[in-house]
Amino acid sequence: MPNAFDIDPDRVAAILRETAETEILPRFRTLASHEISEKNPGDLVTVADQASEAMLTRRLADLIPGALIVGEEAHEVSPEALGEIDDAPWAWIIDPLDGTHNFAHGTPRFAMILALARRGETAMGWILDPMGDHLAFAEAGAGAAIDGTPLRLGDAGPVAAMTGSLGNKFADRLRARAGTPGAPAIPKAFLRYRCVGLEYMDLARGKIDFARYAGKLMPWDHAAGVLLHGEAGGKAAMTGDGRSYAPGMARPGDALLLAPDMPAWTALDRLMS
């Protein structure tokens, strides 16, 4: 059985780029109406999602024979694979096209996200921005980089100077609270890209100061990004009890909060509790 160091990150990156060039980019702004559908109300899927996941699944299966492969689109058919991540010696976790809503509407904000987990812990993660051909890569304990440039987050500034990714309802709640006497300062700006992969790249770059993600927290959305952010020096933990994030874990009501460092995480957690 191979270990993480037997995987050539550049070979995986080449597979991601080849898949983007073959199955994703040629379909951008060329999709016919019948090539876009809904998995659930408001949750789009396109032929680009399906074709790119199929290609990645074929290619990655050759790198670690017998490894578990958990793909976002395959999950609709075989949801049981999600529960096998913790026990799998190796698991590829694939989001073949993150930001499908943007992609389907011709907005150039989408990404490909890939993680390699070992018995429930993320060992490696890749995020590819196909439009800009920017690649983020992280390996547990070995650092993170974008386009080969190492990432290292600086010290966080005051909460009032921060910009972060936050859902609209939660942001509105903070704004309403800020209008009351004696209320603490809130971040200066809130945003959402509708593409978590690109948000994670900007979190690791320090272009976004913090993010809060709640709901199902599917591993194909977060496993690679949390590793990237952490290897850049950031702090990520679940609200409430401060548990570390892992791709095989989830608990109803939990939210994942990311910040540049522990003091900023604590201040934001207190503000949002």
- The model's confidence at residue 183, banded by pLDDT at 50, 70 and 90, is confident
Over residues 67-86, the pLDDT tens digits come to 999 988 777 667 777 788 99
Who contacts 51 (Cβ-Cβ below 8 Å, separation ≥6)? 23
Query: Alpha-carbon distance 273 to 258, whole Å?
Result: 14
Question: What number of other Cβ atoms are within 10 A of residue 169's Cβ?
Answer: 7
Over residues 227-241, the pLDDT tens digits come to 999 999 999 999 988
Query: Alpha-carbon distance 269 to 104, whole Å?
Result: 34
pLDDT of residue 182: 81
pLDDT of residue 42: 73
Query: Alpha-carbon distance 138 to 233, whole Å?
Result: 12
The domains of the chain, with CATH numbers, are 4-150 (3.30.540.10), 159-272 (3.40.190.80)
pLDDT of residue 1: 41
Could you give phi then psi for residue 182, rounded to 5 degrees? 75, 5
Q: What crossing angle do the helices spanning 196-205 and 219-231 adopt, rounded to 10°?
A: 10
Q: Name, of 28-42, 121-135, 242-256, the range with top average pLDDT.
A: 121-135
Over residues 100-139, the pLDDT tens digits come to 999 999 999 999 999 999 999 999 999 999 999 999 999 9
**Average pLDDT rounded to a whole number, residues 251-265:** 87
Chain length of the chain: 273
Q: Is the torsion defined by CA of 66, 69, 74, 79 positive or negative? A: positive
Least confident piece of the model among 205-214, 231-240, 244-253: 244-253
pLDDT of residue 242: 87
pLDDT of residue 178: 84
| Residue type at 75 in one-letter notation | H
Q: What is the pTM of this model?
A: 0.93
Cite the DSSP H helix spans in 179-218: 196-205
Q: Using alpha carbons, select from 217, 271, 221 the residue that is nearest to residue 243.
A: 217
Average pLDDT, the chain: 91
List C-alpha distances in Å: 203 to 39, 210, 260. Answer: 29, 7, 8
Predicted confidence (pLDDT) at residue 253 exceeds the cutoff of 70:
no
Predicted confidence (pLDDT) at residue 2 exceeds the cutoff of 80:
no
DSSP structure string for 51-71: HHHHHHHHHHHHHSTT-EEEE
Query: Alpha-carbon distance 9 to 233, whole Å?
Result: 21
